[in-house]
Amino acid sequence: MILLTVALLAATPSATLASTPALGTEAARCRPHEPGPAILVTVDGLKDRVGKLRAEIYPAVDGEFLADDNVLVAQGKTFRRAVIAVPPTSPVQLCLRVPAAGTYALSVVHARSGGHGFSLLHDGIGFASNPRLGHSKPDADQARVVAHAGITPTTVVMNYRSGLFSFAPIKR
């Protein structure tokens, strides 16, 4: 269950340092006129226009997807993070440079309070390929995006708590 999984990830003690909001951001920063490889994420279905959006790139491998960012970086694995304030008008886009063309897993969090964590009650989450979430987080292959040598566009639809234990897109 995604609620249980996210709660366990947040509560699990780690032998590494606590994550910092800046980890992976410099490596992910897209620069003007840069040809890539990079992933340009368009975010659809926001509940509102408050807080921050956090897009993160992981290896597209179960066990490494959504793993502790400090562990991934310490092991030399791919981890990138882009954070922006939610803009007051559309479109909403984040750009993340990747180390090379290839397959990655992508998550996007809408931290409505603007914090670094994830609130099960208030925040939204989305993944590349827009898998149906229901009660559990997707496998890495369900959240994958294939980055090409240039700028690769992808769209992520946000999901928010729907009922007691599931997440789904906002019905408008």
pLDDT values of the chain reduced to their tens digit, one per residue, 172 residues: 343 334 334 433 344 445 555 666 766 778 888 788 999 999 999 999 999 999 999 999 999 999 999 999 999 999 999 999 999 987 999 999 999 999 999 999 999 988 888 888 899 999 999 999 877 789 999 999 999 999 999 999 999 998 877 889 998 7
Residue 12 lies in a domain: no
Dump pLDDT digits (tens) for 86-132.
Answer: 999 879 999 999 999 999 999 999 999 888 888 888 999 999 999 99
Residue 133 lies in a domain: yes
- Structural domain total, the chain: 1
Q: What is the DSSP string of 91-156?
A: --EEEEE-SSSEEEEEEEEEETTS-SS--TTT-EEEETT----BTSPPPGGGGEEEE-SSEEEEEE
Q: What is the pTM assigned to this prediction?
A: 0.83
- Residue 109 in contact with residue 124, Cβ under 8 Å? yes
Residue 171 lies in a domain: no
Calpha distance 83→66 (Å, rounded): 16
Structural domain containing residue 45:
2-6+21-154
Residue 169 lies in a domain: no
Residue 120 lies in a domain: yes
Residue 164 lies in a domain: no
